Amino acid sequence: MTDNILKNIIITGASRGIGRATALALAAPGRTITLAARSARLLDDVAAEARAAGASAIVAPCDVTAGEDVRRLVDQAAKTTGRIDLLVHSVGGAYVAPVTQISQEQWDEQVRVHLTSLFLICKHATPFMHNGGLLVYVASVAARQVFPNWSAYCAAKHGALGLLGAVREEMRPHGVRVTAVLPAATDTGLWDDLPGDWNRTAMLQPADVAAAIVALAAYPPHVVVEELTVGHVAGRL
């Protein structure tokens, strides 16, 4: 990682899964990591581990689907240096059912979690991102592929890539890099309550995706990887 540039970091979804693994993979002396998620208790545990690795860690409970929460999160993270160097937006949650069985409330929730949250992050964080900054959105292979019974999730993730692509073009003149990471199935809590028989031994681990994000952050500030698909050698489930 280019320590002289990417020192002030925000991780959303930092209490568990890919967000947690990414926060711990990035934790090192000289870095300040603002940890955002809804559970303050779980964030406290992650912050303790990050501090043990030498990083400064700030716990910032936040609902990333609420505009005022996101604005407050970004302001808090940026108040010391006036800038955000690296932001990793990682949110989970899927509703799996035939399209005829999805209620409008369930549809709205998927769009709010996966698409509206990204809009709010881009709206409030990019003004604090400057030359060499990096915005990483953890999407899914479902942002490029489609799967039966995952219509709401796929639609929200496809839409998020469209939003992110437009933001990428807006941020180019400012020297800010915008990257979508598309992991294959990853063994997180998302799968705990989903219907179906899932072979979790053939899934990626959160640390695998975190390692890819750390590698992205290590590129020189003029290099942008627009999309990175991360899969398992075993192939699709």
* pLDDT tens digit at each of 237 positions of the chain: 444 468 999 999 999 999 999 999 999 999 999 999 999 999 999 999 999 999 999 999 999 999 999 999 999 999 989 999 999 999 988 889 999 999 999 999 999 999 999 999 999 999 999 999 999 999 999 999 999 999 999 999 999 999 999 999 999 999 999 999 999 999 888 888 887 778 888 899 999 999 999 999 999 999 999 999 999 998 876
Residues 6+ apart with CB under 8 A from 155: 110, 111
How far from chain centre, in Å, is Cα 122? Answer: 12
Known active-site residue 153: yes
Which of 95, 137, 153, 219 is catalytic? The answer is 153
H or E stretch including 9?
A: strand 8-12
pTM of the entire structure?
A: 0.94
Return the bridge partners of 81, or none: none
68-76's contacts with Cβ under 8 Å and 24+ in sequence apart are 70/117, 70/120, 70/121, 70/123, 70/124, 70/125, 71/124, 73/10, 73/34, 73/36, 73/124, 74/10, 74/124, 74/125, 74/128, 76/34
The CATH number corresponding to 8-230 among 3.40.50.720, 2.40.30.330, 3.90.1150.10, 3.30.1600.10 equals: 3.40.50.720
Alpha carbon 25 to its chain centroid, in Å, reads 14
